[in-house]
Amino acid sequence: MRIKGGALVVGALAVALTATGCNATTNEGGSGDSGEAKTQSGSISYEAADNTGPAKAVDGATKGGVITVMQVSDFEHLDPARNYVNVQQLTGNLIYRSLAGYVEDGSGKMLLVGDLATNPGTDVNKDCKVWEFKLRDGLKYEDGSAVSSKDVAWGIARSFAPELNEGPHYIQQWLYPGGGYNATYKGPYEGGAMPAGIDTPDDKTIKFTFAEPHCDMPYAAALPTSAPVPQAKDTKGQYDLKPFSSGPYKVKSYTRDNALELERNPNWDANTDPIRTAYPDGYKFTFGLEQQQIAERLVADAPADQASLTWGDTPPAVLPRTTAANVANRVAKGPTQYVWYLGVNNLRIKDKKIREALYYGLDRDAALKAIGGTSAGTPASTLMSPTTAGFEAFDVYNAPPTGDVNKVKEILGGTTPPPLVLAHSNTALRTAQAEAIRASLVKAGFQVTLKAIESTSYYDQVGRKNNPYDLYLHGWGSDWPTGSTIIPPLYDGREIADEGNNNLAYFNDDSINTEIDKIRAMPAAEQDAAWTALDKKLMTDFLPEIPAYYDATHELYGSKVGNAYLSDAFGALQLNKIFVKQ
């Protein structure tokens, strides 16, 4: 999904899942670095051992204590129908359970398993069109009542309501293909009808019937969309403040913009849950501090802050102090699911040669230095992130990180490239970065003018098909760790509309479009390699735009936080198995 250009940037990175990957691009070095390069091999598991609770215990973990999460901004939405941001999903995961979920231990061997359901979804007819989920025994809400598959259906139904439209819309769009996801069915509130294609023959079963094959359904079922919401507990617009708990914790108090406190849900049974260990007695999320203050406090590690952590990146000013031995072992760093591109408008730059020259002209090191250096990311040579299943660290063009001016001249062969306009969001960070990119391209012989666009309307402007810009910076992250939420939204030319485009390269090629359809119909297990092959083909034959760098995160935590690791699935510190050292 798109990174927002404006004030939302703080923590507004979406869900996404990180599975396989890693290679030369992950962070090297750093003693005691919990984000060490690791070989990831995420997959969907139907093994009974993986799909049965309780979750595997963590060595040395103890129950009790409260983990504090210090954040700059309050969450926008915890209502599962509206929850689309990675840190909101990590939090939501403590309060409610979806049909499927990710078992993680920080080793990179993330597994997608059944959460409420006994497995991550049964493909009934082996055509990816009908999916069935059976709920586990012993699932209870915070008031002790049983979780019913009808509540899952209600949760999905309400996510169609125009008033609750902020969440992911995969399942909704699959149930109602063609046109907007809620153009036909607008939720259960007006008249009470349930969406077509969802059946709940009994309280333990829910069945989805799609017109088209959707082999990614197990991943979509891990989104908060499928969290159960009992109709009687549905407070509509106010559900954000107090989602009814089906997970190990429930909302104790929530003062918007100040603090959210979670306490144990005594009716949650660890034996039904293969994902969460629920060691702390509670969590406290505090909002309103600047990232700099948070980082300073975590570096200082005062007794009151020792069981605290943050999901925000360490600001450059504090970074030098995080290398001291007693701080370095309290840093989690690694790649996120985001890749930043130097987008090239193919409607204006039609010649692949020029794009190739731009590829060599770009000084990736300088672009990264402008936003904080190696803790902000590593140079990219592929369209998909290292966190994608099946990722392969190929490099078709082998450009050095600082660019290759001679190679640019060789490719252009004495011809003068057209003057280029580079658009960027007008935030301090992006302006500095655009200036660095411009300088490197000018050095390589391009004529580049910068165009700053107001951050809140940045993606609007570059998302218009006939925009007057040649180059623009943009980031993209997958919604789950396969190529299916990267390649199609970014490079399927049939999706190009007059405005609101994600395909900012405005790239359209029939052979690629056909290939996308072919891969989508493959079983999930076979898709990974196929997306990687398509990434390679796009890079070699077309070079639709220029991958600049893989985004990275650098998060601090206190000395009493145990088992802190970056979630493979969400690219931020995972809370499911964290504990307070006693």
Partner 1 sequence: MVRFLTRRVLVGVVTLIAISIIVFGLFFAVPSSPAKVMCGKNCDAASIAQVETRLGLREPIVTQYTKFMKGIFVGRTYADGTAFERRCDAPCLGYSFRNDEAVTTILSRTVPVTISIVIGAAILWLLIGVSLGMVSALRRGTLFDKLAIGISLTGASMQVFFFGLILLFLLVYTTGLLPFPSYTPFTENPAKWAQGLILPWVTLGFLNSAIYARLSRAQMLETLSEDFVRTARAKGLPLRRVYTKHALRAAITPIVTIAGLDIGASLGGTFITETIFGLRGLGKETVEAVGFLNLPIVVATVLLAAVFIVVANLIVDVLYAVIDPRVRLS
Interacting residues toward partner 1 by CB under 8 A: 1-2, 4, 6-8, 14, 74, 76-77, 82, 84-85, 161-163, 165-169, 180, 183, 189-190, 236-238, 240, 255-258, 287-290, 293, 296-297, 300, 302, 304, 454, 456-457, 459-460, 499-500
Q: Name the nearest CA neighbour of 296 among 70, 9, 75.
A: 70
Q: How far is the CB of 456 from partner 1 (least distance, A)?
A: 4
At 520, which helix (H) or strand (E)? helix 510-520
Smallest separation (angstroms) from partner 1 to the CB of 395:
30
Q: Between 227 and 437, whose beta carbon lies closer to partner 1?
A: 227
189 vs 397, which CB is nearer to partner 1? 189
> Any idea what the Cα angle at residue 292 is, between residues 287 and 296, rounded to 5°?
100
Question: CB-wise, 168 or 544, nearer to partner 1?
Answer: 168
Give the integer Cα–Cα distance in Å for 193 and 186. Answer: 9
**Residues in contact with 244: Cβ distance below 8 Å, sequence separation at least 6, in sequence order:** 96, 141, 142, 229, 230, 233
Phi and psi at residue 283, in whole multiples of 5°? -130, 145
| Pairwise CA distance, residues 1 & 229, whole Å | 25
Least distance between partner 1 and beta carbon 462 (Å): 13
Minimum separation from the CB atom of position 321 to partner 1 (A): 11
Question: Between 77 and 554, whose beta carbon lies closer to partner 1?
Answer: 77
Q: Which two tokens stand for residue 63?
A: 């129950």
Q: Phi/psi of residue 353, each to 5°?
A: -55, -40
Minimum distance from residue 388 beta carbon to partner 1 (Å): 18
Nearer to partner 1 by Cβ, of 267 and 501: the residue is 501
CA distance 261 to 92: 13
Which residue, among 109, 110, 204, has the nearest Cα to 149 in the 3D structure? 204
- Residue 101 beta carbon to partner 1: minimum distance, rounded to whole angstroms: 20
CA distance 111 to 100: 10
Q: Is the peptide bond before 54 cis (omega within 30 degrees of 0)?
A: yes
Tell me whether residue 107 or residue 258 sits nearer to partner 1 (CB atom): 258
* 179 vs 414, beta carbon nearer partner 1: 179
SS3 assignment, position 364? helix
Of 129 and 214, CB closest to partner 1: 214
How many CA atoms does the CB half-sphere of 504 hold within 13 Å? 28
Q: How far is the CB of 361 from partner 1 (least distance, A)?
A: 32
- Retrieve residue 107's tokens: 């080793």
Tell me the residue ranges of DSSP E strands in 367-506.
377-379, 420-425, 448-453, 471-477
Q: How far is the CB of 409 from partner 1 (least distance, A)?
A: 41
**Least distance from C-beta 209 to partner 1, angstroms?**
24
- Dihedral sign of CA atoms 555, 558, 559, 562 in order: negative
Nearer to partner 1, 123 or 240 (CB): 240
